[in-house]
Amino acid sequence: MRKIKKINGFLVVKFNDREKREYEGTALGEYGVIDAEVYTGNLDIDRGAMEYDNAGSMEEAVELAEQWVARPGTSEHQLGLAVDINGAVYDIYLWLEENSWKYGFIFRYPAYKTDLTGVAGEVWHYRYVGKEAAQEIHEQGVCLEEYLENLPEDGVSWAESD
């Protein structure tokens, strides 16, 4: 079952490649945005689906949707940089947050950094940045955007610049 979010009468869904081809040229949007009043098909809705009725326009709805669904071709997963890690118990996320940096991965989208990352919190999403950068990001307590913003202009990491 996939996650679907309703935003001002629009449903936002992440399509797989087959669905993108199948719905091309229909009322379904390029980014998996569906006009709920036009769409008559069947979609399984995740029990965790959320409503965003506070968006004032379609542009705002898409902006909110982009916090949950990456534009095609821009996903860290599609680029081969990230993985989603899930387990049977929530404790796995606590362990990952404390230990993933030792293996070169960072907790990519903390909920408290949404204003900087532009993506809502995803406790399961981890990006590979290498052991050195992961350690620096972990020790500094920053997200990737803050880390990259503060890199010296020559691109040398803080650890190498001492």
Strands 51-52 and 4-7: parallel
Task: Give the other-Cβ count within 10 Å of 82's Cβ.
Answer: 19
Question: Given 76, 122, 149, 160, which residue is catalytic?
Answer: 122
Please, where are the H alpha helices in the chain?
Answer: 17-22, 58-65, 91-99, 114-117, 131-140, 144-149
Cα gap 87→123, rounded to integer Å: 11
| Cα 127 from Cα 107, distance rounded (Å) | 7
Q: Is the dihedral of CA 91, 93, 98, 102 positive or negative?
A: positive
Q: CA 135 to CA 157: how far, in whole Å?
A: 11
Q: Does the annotation mark 51 as catalytic?
A: no
Can you read off the two tokens belonging to residue 161?
């610049």
Catalytic residues: 122
